[in-house]
Amino acid sequence: MTQRVKITYISLLVLLPICIIAGTSLGAFKIEFEQCANILLNLFGADNYSDFTNPQHNVLLYIRLPRVCLSMMIGAALAVSGAGLQGLFRNPLADPGLIGISAGAMLAASIAIIMGLQFTSGFLGYYSISFATFLGAILTTIIVFKLSKSNKSTNIATMLLAGIAINALAGAVTGFIIYLSDDDQLRDITFWSLGSLGGADWEKVIALIPLIILPIIMIARLAKKLDVYALGESEALCLGVNVNSLKRRLVVWVTISVGACVAIAGMIGFIGLLIPHITRLLVGPKHRNLIWISAILGALVLSISDLLCRLIVAPAELPIGILTAILGTPLFLALLIQQKRKING
């Protein structure tokens, strides 16, 4: 591990607790930094000092802390998924939306909303849109995989084209559903399309842990194979990499991870595209470093973005998808211009 990589790891890990304290203390209901630290210390039994009120304790523990945890988990998952797909396509401009995962999930959510599944009784009714969204992401991936199969192998170029076609079709059908929807349904569909972490609670955090942590670990385990695959498909085959297995496993884990994120928070753009790109500039293209640092940076960026969404129009909230697009677009264009200048000398 080079000195530059070590410094990057340490810097980002130092920022994590700072980000957690900022995310839990700032907002429409103010909690002082010292009170926030005391509540968190009391939570882990490390401090008996209790200079905080019961409302402050409840707001931090049951509203803000699960929201910060959720934002960090989703940010890490989207960033790692983006890094994995960029390695698979050997293209730094690839992201989870490229093969239609997000569009398929959004279409399924729209269908669930217009059918009124969220108003059915019981556990299934409460989580019906999330279930439908996750199922939509998986079904979309299966369709793209089937379309890209050729002679028992998966063609990356065909997968890309199939993803673009599925994106277009899903977008068109979603648009038609929006046209047919009433005001309440339109509001719900807009919520999913713009993204929000407003419904965060410990149930969602716990439900999301295996669907995010496991894919991140499994994608990280493919790091060495992705490094070899970067040399080219035929070269990877010659060096003993089972390319078809690599493609299949990577896309499956990305689908599970992104599908779970969209099911809980709706569509959040630019994290999967931009974070791996920035990480690559910081630590280079080696996937072992790229994946783990992307996870930490993605967690930080989405957590900070969510905090800004709560502060900019307080006491209301700005949809997080809007903010990530506003912040991400100029930054990404600046990175592209910088790269172009390097290429041109």
Over residues 236-290, the pLDDT tens digits come to 989 889 998 999 899 999 999 998 898 888 889 889 989 998 999 899 889 999 9
> Counting Cβ atoms within 10 Å, is residue 313 exposed (0-12), middle (13-18) or buried (19+)?
exposed
- Residues 168-181 have a mean pLDDT of 91
Q: Omega of the bond prior to 17 within 30 degrees of 0, cis?
A: no
Amino acid code (one letter) for 118: Q
* Structure tokens belonging to residue 96: 């989870």
pLDDT at site 40: 75
Here the tokens at position 154 are 């998966």
Any idea which of 50-54, 79-83, 95-99, 101-105 has the lowest mean pLDDT?
A: 50-54
Please state the length of the chain.
345
How far, in Å, are 20, 64, 201 from residue 68 at the CA level?
A: 7, 6, 10
- Alpha helices in 181-286, H assignment, sequence order: 183-194, 202-221, 223-229, 233-238, 243-265, 271-283
pLDDT in tens, 12-33: 999 999 999 889 888 878 787 7
Under 8 Å between Cβ of 321 and 262: no
Per-residue confidence at 69, pLDDT binned at 50, 70, 90? very high
More confident residue, 339 or 21: 21
Q: Nearest 5°: CA angle at 281, between 229 and 218? A: 45
Nearest partner of 204 among 287, 309, 134, judged by Cα = 134
Longest dimension (CA), the chain: 68
Range name among 37-41, 69-73, 181-185, 193-197 with the lowest pLDDT average: 37-41
Spatial distance between the Cα atoms of 290 and 281, rounded to a whole number of angstroms: 10
Residue 338 in this model has a pLDDT that exceeds 90: no
Asked if residues 274 and 332 have their Cβ atoms less than 8 Å apart, the reply is yes
> 119: which residues sit within 8 A by CB, 6+ positions away?
125
Query: Residue 153: phi, psi to the nearest 5?
Result: -130, 155
217: pLDDT strictly greater than 90:
yes
Q: What is the pTM of this model?
A: 0.90
> What is the CB neighbour count within 10 angstroms for residue 175?
11
Q: How far apart are CA 315 and CA 304, in angstroms?
A: 17
Residue 340 pLDDT grade (very low, low, confident, very high; cuts 50, 70, 90): confident
Average pLDDT on 121-144 reads: 77
How much of the chain, in percent, has pLDDT values that exceed 90? 33
The CATH code of domain 3-339 reads: 1.10.3470.10
Cite the beta strand spans of 79-234 per DSSP E: 149-150, 153-154
Give me the pLDDT at residue 303, please.
95
